[in-house]
Amino acid sequence: MPVVIPPFEAKLTKIFRRIVAHRRLIMVIYALLLPPSVWLALQVQQDNSLDRLVVQSDPTYAANKRFEEVFGHGEYVLVLAEADDPFAPETLKKFNELEEAVSKVPRVTANSAVSVFRRVKGGFDASPAAAEAFKKFVTGSELFKKQGLVGEHMLALPLFLDVRTGEQRTQVIEGIDAALAPFEKNPAPLKAIRKVGQPYVNAYLDNDTRTSGYKYFPLFMLFVIVLNWVLYRSFRALGAFVLTLGVCAAMTVGFVGLTGGTFTIVSSLVPMTILITTTATLVYLHSRYVEVDKDVTDIDEHQARALANKFVAATASIFATAVGFAALAVSEIRPIRELGLWVAAGLVLTWITVFTLFPALQKALNTPTEKERKTAGQWFVNFVMWLPPWSYRWRWILVPGSLILCGVGAIMLFGFPGVLKPMTLETNALEYIPHDSALYKDTKRLEEQIAGLSITEVWLRGKPGEISDAPVLRGLQHFSDALEADKHIGTVIGPTVMLRTLRYVSGQGDKLPEDDESLEAIGGTLETLLPKEPMLQSFVDKKLAQTHLSVITKTVDYQGFVELDKTIRDKWQEAVRKDPVLKDFEMEIVGLAPLQAKISKLLVPTLTHSFALTVVIIFGTFLLVFRSGAARLMAMIPSLFAILVMFAVMRLSHMSLNVATILIASTVLGTSENDQIHFFYHFQEARNAGQTTEQALRHTLGIAGRAIFFATIINAGGFLAFAFSTLPPVRQFGILSAIAFLLSMLADFTALPAALWMVFRERPDKVNAARSAEKAKLR
């Protein structure tokens, strides 16, 4: 029974006739839009700073910004000089030269144990006598070791970087590397020079994500060219594809530039997702165009009808994908929210482009149909004939089996009480860089040698002049001692440590006295030295009203930060009871550690809320497109199967959820639903024409099946380009996404047809015919 063309589709055919007729005007408009789009795209900067991971309205982020307004914004790098004897004269001479070289780099302030000694003694010449004096000076107190400035076989050079943008950070890091290059080339008598710190991690991520396009996009375009040639065997069709893809990608990234956006570690997914989604949509449109009946003579009319026939399904699928990404806007993690909104906006631009520019290019380039050139996938005809009865035969294994695997995947993701814990979340940026890199290994080695690299700031705000009062100084020292007594805290550096250091270098010992008279004298010293001493200025504001204590730990996980937060608050309450003068101070916990904990906490809502919102809205899309309630539920099976089984693979391969892999659920659901929408649109088209389930399945597979197959190969192959990334999260995202798309296609051709047999309760036509014949004989 032939499929009847609905009135709405007939109206669309007239619209597409006009679009093709005005093809020259359309191509001129896009040619004018392309240059400014490219220019705006080139203005997009790169920044992987930790504080960019949360939205600016977030309370923790806002508190950090207020803290920086008082004590300045800066980042820290630690340069480690390893030696058999760090106090040997030749070692100290080399280290002194190294520090002097690095200190000349703009925006860098160096402060080592050697520089402290140099200021105290009025110079340092690294002679044997000076080296011996330095050793006695440094080892005479635990203060320098506690601050991580010296170790058994190590001298540390802490660097404060006055940077506010990714560009400034890159310039400073390059300056430090240039200053250290001669010493790294010829380190003797030093054994090694190592550089660690968040700025180096951020710089690594900035550089890799900035250059990622040079790796991913050529691979993807090569994939498109090869697949396009294999599928359509036409350079003209290839030209229409490539030009449309280029315009869609340029306009999307241009939109990011227009809105002042900044790319992060996950932002390379924006243009790649647009390219992949656009290519898949073009395959659906062009495959319908090339499949022309032998008796068709008017190719222009056929093109308009083919576009009209695919308009609803393609529009619904692009809308579903856009919704999948727009749902990420519920995330409080800034790059993920921006990614979702940018991709959603890009998909709107893509929808406009594929239904205007691409038809114009098809006509202008005179792309061939199957009449002129056979396309690939002729084997699919046999597959179309074989699949419906096969899926009917095995329906009671295929559908329950897929649901069982979905349940296993859900348990792998969310855990099972008392048996299996939920999948872990990873927000430590160090884990985002290659584990075989020198930076990763050096940082891990350092974490074992010192008190830790995680810094939590305890910000105290009081009245002007209070910090230098004797009771307050005593209370701050008691609070610091109480924190350091906790086994989970490595060390605490604050104003009293700075004052103890000053007392030590002046020969008065490294302990603060307890009596009011001596503490008042120390408070007077603080007031006198504060305008001149940078070390004090970094811990006390000019009005002597605010200060902070840097709590250094090895904590990296969210639960550890929660416990640390509780410990600090409990210790503060104890300190207030012991020294009531502290009750006048307002205490707030800020810094990178709380921010990192906040990000970790927000990853779970990002996964669950965005995924749930995507499911609801896509289900709403099916509600509008398909009238059958059972069909709407069946349409979700392949995507849910793909996502949940993918999480099982993720768990079994010991991968963790992170800022990139957390996106897979919404990405795959939004993208793979395209296949189910095209499948059900044509299935419903046939059912409305009165066809049986088997006939409808063959009609659907004949029109959309081959496009689903090749679109899935495009999606999987496109995302697989990310497997070549050096960054573990991006590499994992690419591999897992490709697996999920292939799993979705597997369910499209197995569980989905099997489920439809169960929903409509029909048998294959041959079985019905045989039973009818038997009944006729009985009569």
300-328: pLDDT as tens digits: 888 999 999 889 888 888 887 887 788 77
State residue 777's pLDDT score. 44
Strand 75-82 relative to strand 154-161, pairing:
antiparallel
Q: Please return the burial class of 294, using the count of CB atoms within 10 Å of its CB with bins 0-12, 13-18 and 19+.
A: exposed
* 578: confidence class by pLDDT, cuts 50, 70, 90: very high
Share of the chain above pLDDT 70, in %: 88
Strand 150-151 relative to strand 154-161, pairing:
antiparallel
State residue 33's pLDDT score. 95
Taking the C-alpha atoms of residue 299 and residue 359, their distance in angstroms, rounded to an integer, is 12
DSSP 5: P
Query: Scanning the structure block, which residue is given the tokens 């406009």?
Result: 352
* Winning range, highest mean pLDDT, from 76-80, 415-419, 600-604, 747-751: 747-751
**φ, ψ for residue 205, nearest 5 deg:** -65, -40
Element (H, E) at 48: none
Task: Retrieve residue 622's tokens.
Answer: 């099916």
Average of per-residue pLDDT across 516-528? 90
**φ, ψ for residue 248, nearest 5 deg:** -60, -45
Query: Which sign does the torsion angle of CA 637, 643, 646, 648 carry?
Result: negative
Asked if residue 614 lies in contact with residue 639, where contact means CB atoms within 8 angstroms, the answer is: no
DSSP 6: P
Element (H, E) at 140: none
The partner residues of 454 in beta bridges, in order of sequence, read 553
Closest-CA residue to 271 (of 209, 333, 228, 331): 209
Average of per-residue pLDDT across 402-428? 86
Task: Retrieve residue 688's tokens.
Answer: 């409305």
- CA torsion angle 744 746 752 753 (round to 10): 150
The yes-or-no verdict on residue 698 having pLDDT over 80 is yes
On the question of a cis peptide bond just before residue 189, with omega within 30 degrees of 0, the verdict is: yes
Taking the C-alpha atoms of residue 673 and residue 621, their distance in angstroms, rounded to an integer, is 10
Question: ∠454-200-40 over CA atoms, to 5°?
Answer: 120
- Higher pLDDT: 119 or 775? It is 119
Taking the C-alpha atoms of residue 711 and residue 745, their distance in angstroms, rounded to an integer, is 10
Taking the C-alpha atoms of residue 594 and residue 591, their distance in angstroms, rounded to an integer, is 6
pLDDT digits (tens, 9 = 90+) for 219-267: 778 887 888 888 888 899 999 999 999 999 999 999 999 998 888 767 7
Of 345-359, 663-677, 690-704, give the lowest mean pLDDT range: 663-677
Task: Retrieve residue 611's tokens.
Answer: 């995924």
Taking the C-alpha atoms of residue 373 and residue 290, their distance in angstroms, rounded to an integer, is 9
The yes-or-no verdict on residue 10 having pLDDT over 90 is no
Q: Is residue 149 helix, strand or coil?
A: coil
The yes-or-no verdict on residue 575 having pLDDT over 90 is yes
State residue 506's pLDDT score. 80
Identify how many contiguous H helices and E strands the chain contains and give both numbers: 30, 11
Average of per-residue pLDDT across 697-725? 84
Taking the C-alpha atoms of residue 496 and residue 512, their distance in angstroms, rounded to an integer, is 8
Strand runs labelled E in 66-153: 75-82, 108-110, 150-151
Kindly report the pTM of this predicted structure: 0.73
Asked if residue 146 lies in contact with residue 491, where contact means CB atoms within 8 angstroms, the answer is: yes
pLDDT digits (tens, 9 = 90+) for 133-182: 999 998 888 888 887 888 888 899 988 888 877 778 889 999 999 999 99
**φ, ψ for residue 510, nearest 5 deg:** -105, 20
